Chain A
Amino acid sequence: MGDRYHQEAAPHTGTTIVAVEYDGGVVLGADSRVSTGIYVSNRASDKITPLSESVYLLRSGSAADTQAVSDYVRFFSEQHEMELQHAPKVVTVANLVKLMNYQNKHLVGAMIVAGWDSVEGGQVYGCPIGGTIVREKWTTDGSGSTFIWGYLDAEYKDGMTREEAENLVQAALALAMARDASSGGVIRIVTIDKDGARRRMVTPDEHMQMWDDIPEQPIGIHV
């Protein structure tokens, strides 16, 4: 399946995913590239999956594994909601994702669960491979995340407004997509607060704004 010119050929969401908590909710962002080796098998995939009305999942790693996990967790969450008689808490949904990862160590699912509930407000939970669960103010995952940890470390502030958080997520994703070959396509953003989830998309012509410092004529030696 693999030689030195081809990466692991199973559909791999070489991805960038970001989630950030703000004052009143959370903002989730993801790129849309799915690669099978060097071929982009899907340039407009949706890596932001609803698990319940106000809790969403960001998926990176194996596309098949994360889709299976999200299907199971959505099922368990719906069942649980019937017993609970109200929407499940974000921590509960995140715990279900963690259990899937922990009890099935062969899965390659690096996921982020983020949402809003009436008890704790906006919350972000990292659910990486192996089965950890950790609540954070913000987090990022996927192959493109390596390029933006520093950016998010520097730019994140506590108690941002919704707009500030959305701009932060969009900027972080654009930077990661510019440097990571496995991330690209459109930027998908989902904002979740007490009124539910709102989704939008930012196309490349809108987000690729880092070309204005490139001079028309290269300076120095022509390559």
Chain B
Amino acid sequence: MSGIGTGYDLSVSTFSPDGRVFQAEYAQKAVDSSGTVLGMCCADGVVLAAEKPEISKLIEEHSNRRAFPIARHAGAVIAGVAADGRAIIDRAQAEASNYKSFYGDKIPGHVLAERVASFVHLFNLYWYVRPFGVCTLLATCDHSGPQLHMVDPSGTMHQYNATAVGKGRQAAKNELEKLKLDRMTCKEALFSAAKILHQVHDEEKAFELEVAWISADTDYVFTRVSNEEVAEAEQAAKAAIEAEDMDDE
């Protein structure tokens, strides 16, 4: 990797001479080496999907959650250090709840994302804490429509139509760019998400797919996609990939 930050990388409160904060970059590397996570904003909602590599055969299937509800109309999937992710989710849930108590209304997507971003950014300012090694993908759906935001370890926030983070992000983003998301439903997006994650995944190792969405079909409540529906999408995805491979031969 480029840039050995000797001496300037010991603390997040130190800049390097060329203007980099190495601790924040190292935090990003923690995300880059985790399983791929992607999010897609469709015509009728938002879909979030995570590739969960099998760490041990002794782990109970479908445990080790990566998708979390933040409010009824909002949810998130995290990539990177799972324990750090839970701290961010806790904060996001508190922000959403406080917003409702204070303003009598569901927290809008961009406000939630800004609150999460300034929380994450806090940990990039002081030498006595380390940054979160987490990228958070936030999905919301309210009267202004479906929205997808991402907060990276430095506390930067952007709104996306679709994005991917983790090991296979480059290949995943290339595939996502080819999709016409504003004309797809969430059900179609579920199939695409399964297909992309199977395509970018390292073939030898087993992995579990976790998907969550919020759409008209879920009554605009952030819900985890049922194991059956995920399995169905994965089967169709694998079949489609095989068909494409045969065409290529």
Contact = CB atoms under 8 A, between A and B. Distances in A.
Interface of A: 80, 83-85, 88-89, 91-92, 94-96, 98-99, 119, 133
B101 to A, nearest CB: 8
Interface in B91-149: 102-105, 108, 110-111, 114, 143
Given A84-B108, A96-B102, 15 more contacts: A80-B103, A83-B114, A85-B110, A89-B105, A91-B104, A91-B105, A92-B104, A92-B105, A94-B104, A95-B102, A95-B104, A95-B105, A96-B103, A96-B104, A133-B104
Contacts of A133: 104
Contacts of B114: 83
Given A95-B103, A95-B104, A133-B104, A84 B143 contact: no
B97 to A, nearest CB: 14
B108 to A, nearest CB: 7
19 contacts: A80-B103, A83-B111, A83-B114, A84-B111, A85-B110, A89-B105, A91-B104, A91-B105, A92-B103, A92-B104, A94-B104, A95-B104, A95-B105, A96-B102, A96-B103, A96-B104, A99-B102, A119-B143, A133-B104
A79 to B, nearest CB: 11
Which of A95, A96, A133 has most chain B Cβ within 10 Å? A95
Interface residues of B, number: 9
Label chain B's interface by main secondary structure.
Answer: helix
Label chain A's interface by main secondary structure.
Answer: helix
The 5 residue pairs across chains A and B that have the minimum distance between CB atoms? A95-B104, A92-B103, A91-B104, A92-B105, A119-B143
A80 B99 CA distance: 11
A89 B143 CA distance: 12
Contacts of B102: 95-96, 99
A85 B114 CA distance: 12
Interface of B: 102-105, 108, 110-111, 114, 143
A92 B107 CA distance: 11
A93 to B, nearest CB: 9
A88 B108 CA distance: 11
Contacts of A84: 108, 111
Which of B102, B103, B108, B110 has most chain A Cβ within 10 Å? B103
Contacts of A88: 103
Contacts of B105: 89, 91-92, 95
Contacts of B110: 85
